[in-house]
Chains A and B, each alone.
Chain A
Amino acid sequence: MARKPKPERADVCIIGAGATGAAAAKVLTERGLRVVALEKGPWRRKESFGGDELANVNRYNLWPDPLLNPRTVVRPETGATGPVVELFCPVPQMVGGGTVHWQGWLPRFTPNDFRLRTVVGDLPGTTLADWPITYDELEPYYTRVEWAFGVSGQAGANAAEGPRSKGYPCPPLPLSHYAKKFHEGCHALGWNAFPTPQAALSRPHNGRPPTVISAFAQQHGDPSGTRSSALNVFVPHALATGRFDLRPDCYVREISVDERGRAKGAVYADADGDLVEQEADVVVLACGAVETARLLLLSRSGRFPNGLANSSDLVGRNVTFHEYSAAVGLFDDPIYAWAGGGYVSASSFQFYEHDDSRGFASGGHIACAGVGIPLPINWGLPDRPLWGPQAKQMDRDYFNHSMAVAMVVHDMPQHDNRIELDEKVEDAWGLPVARVTLTPHENDLAMGRFLIDRNGEILEAAGAKKVYRVYIDKVTGNCSHQHGTTRMGDDPDSSVLNRWCQAHDVDNLFVVDGGPFPTGTGANPTLTMMANAWRVAEHIAERWPDRASTGA
């Protein structure tokens, strides 16, 4: 590796140009700061996306290739170091990150999500904590993101939602056949249901046309450029300022520190494989909770022998992952649950809030969808054989007649569930990979059983002739949500970051992905991550230009 001359110093250097890095870039550049974003992956334009299930879902066209980006897993209850895992909680590594290929369910967290320790009390084996910020503090930023990003939804329809200062910019998308079944089931049971707030436009907004209704949406990039994503919205907003230098194919290997122990910049390998150091007054990490923790742990120095910002030994700990599972129903009438991509959905928070009488803590968001990725190759049913006449017959009978009611488990934070550097396995760039150590808490499994049973009841109430209940018995990392590895809090002994997501140990270092979340909550996290990134970026910008000398 050659070392290239240093580029011009930036005001802020953001590592990772996904949902939160792009949100922060937009806010910072619009407030006059000069921002460099270093993105490990490519910058793909809409012309590079297509309606190709095989490439996108099965062949790592968008998912990280596990031969290049492996992760390892340790499951303490088995007593063995796990083998290299192909995919554990993967997220596309490219400009736009996970928002490139999602359909984007964007519910807000509820006020109690920010004070779950107070609501639940002590739950043995967990490190439940209240957030250092409240729903009310974040609410203005939820509204900013919903309106800038372009979210379609129905204000007030979710009975559990906290107060909102403004409705959604677009009404809900059309009612899909599968969403209709979900509403019918919930209505029959007397449960609250609402159109899932989606990262899509039901009508023109901010000069953008409505979102194209294709079968190739969930886990596909968008060739029309009409979905709401960091790639389609925040990146163009930041570029329009003329102050945004977005560098793809730049893999940050280390956050460098100066003689005073402050962040100096980022050392990265560029597209040619040459080493470059980008200096900046402020460094913002937005790599996703797993990779951000990994980068901090990789940034070891004499002053920070256990990794940067890690005097608490909490970097990487309390990681949570949201295992995804579902009840699956078969119907006599066709549902076409691939249409629109399979995730233009309806939701319920009926079992979201904590209820002591259930015998477990907290709850989760449930919503309808196609079965898995409900396109011809990857659609399936739990009892379909691997091959043979019966497998073919089930494809013919149920491909158009099946749907899922899904949930993400709100897995509890635990001190020993953590991300570390693997001692043996390296990625294709020669750096130690993230090693996940994970034991599910009994609360996670109990909640999963409860929610899957409720999901099955919704399908039955909607008239399903057969219902499968797919319970979880472990956390396999089958969801892309990740949180908690750099939790925020007021006490430096029990948190990595303060309420401004600023490292207690390094005052010009911030984290804006899911890492700061003290709890994972039971809802899809990206809206809250982007809102929080916006809040933090505004804080950084407001303290400019004196923040380099005074800290926060």
Chain B
Amino acid sequence: MTDNRFFDAHQRATVEAAMARMIPTDDTPGAREAGTIDFLDRYLSGIDFVFAKPDGSGFETLEGKQAWAWEQRIAALRDTYVAGIEELDRLARERFSADFVALTEEQQDWLLTELERPAQEQEEQVADDQVRAAWTPPEPALQQSVVEIGLAFVPLLALHTRQGFYADPIYGGNRDRIGWQVIGFPGPQSLADVHSGRYSVVDWFADRRGYPGTEDDRGA
């Protein structure tokens, strides 16, 4: 693995094209401009980019059982991507006689929707077993974190596109913080800003007026 990448050129182009359908470019930047492919390709390159150091000075070196767990996890995610990309191209050639990257956006959307369908059915089947904890797309993820392994290819791609669009730029996506700008999130300039206590959102936080029905309820 060179340059901290996992995908070969064709795989990378295919995933980048699919990510551009997940968060499309319109009058605002999308996955392509945010560099979500860089986020994902580096994540899958090994276990050297799992946790940024909290002061933004680099990445943590994983050791022991934690390293073992992440090696398992990354290996499982790679398998899902390799198989998913192959399936995407197989369907593309079967339906449109070309690789996925060569198709129109409409054709790509159609294929991704098609590929997502069995995953949705499977998801309903396993819903009772709660394999997936909180990442059940129809509902907000309430108090628990999202589970990656176990996700089918398209939901996994959607999740990673989202992460690459909105995670701190240190992870390689959200280039120039454009994901945050698209939705109006005043994120920190850097992890160091939060770590040092310089980052505050007090301007967005509080209403200067008091509680309804009290004499403080009169503006300020």
Binding site for B on A (CB under 8 A): 47-55, 57-61, 63, 65-68, 73, 75, 78, 80, 82-83, 85-88, 90, 174-177, 180, 183-184, 187, 212-216, 219, 223-224, 324-326, 328, 336, 338-340, 344, 371-373, 375-389, 391-392, 395-396, 399-400, 404, 406, 428, 470, 474, 476-480
Contacts and interface: CB of A to CB of B under 8 A. Distances in A.
B152 to A, nearest CB: 11
B144 A223 contact: no
In this complex, which of B21, B161, B197 has the most chain A Cβ atoms within 10 angstroms of its Cβ? Answer: B197
A110 B137 CA distance: 36
A428 B68 contact: yes
B210 A175 contact: yes
Contacts of B146: 57-58, 378
Contacts of B195: 47, 49-51, 223
Contact of A68 (B65, B162, B184, B196): B65
Interface in B174-198: 179-180, 182-185, 187-188, 191, 193-197
Nearest to B109: A388
B195 to A, nearest CB: 5
A223 B65 CA distance: 25
A183 B211 contact: yes
A399 B182 CA distance: 10
B50 interface: yes
A376 B166 contact: yes
Contact of B206 (A50, A175, A382): A175
Contacts of A395: 182-183
B194 A377 contact: no
Given A51-B191, A55-B51, A388-B21, A83 B140 contact: no
Interface in B77-133: 109, 112, 116, 128-133
Nearest to A406: B142
A177 B204 CA distance: 8
Contacts of A388: 21-22, 24, 109
Contact of B133 (A53, A86, A184, A480): A86
A524 B143 CA distance: 13
A187 to B, nearest CB: 4
A52 B168 contact: yes
A48 B52 CA distance: 11
Contacts of A404: 140
A174 B204 CA distance: 12
B204 to A, nearest CB: 4
12 contacts: A54-B171, A67-B72, A86-B133, A87-B145, A176-B206, A213-B200, A223-B195, A223-B196, A326-B142, A339-B204, A387-B112, A470-B139
The 10 closest A-B pairs by CB, nearest first: A50-B54, A51-B194, A376-B166, A174-B206, A339-B205, A54-B167, A387-B22, A187-B212, A67-B69, A336-B204
Given A371-B140, A372-B141, A177 B206 contact: yes
Contacts of B139: 380, 382, 470
B35 to A, nearest CB: 15
Contact of B134 (A61, A381, A406, A478): A478
B130 A88 contact: yes
Contacts of A340: 201, 205-206
A187 B213 contact: yes
Contacts of B150: 86
A247 to B, nearest CB: 17
A215 B183 CA distance: 15
B134 A396 contact: no
Given A68-B66, A187-B212, A339-B204, A90 B144 contact: yes
Given A66-B147, A372-B140, A212 B129 contact: no
A176 B207 contact: yes
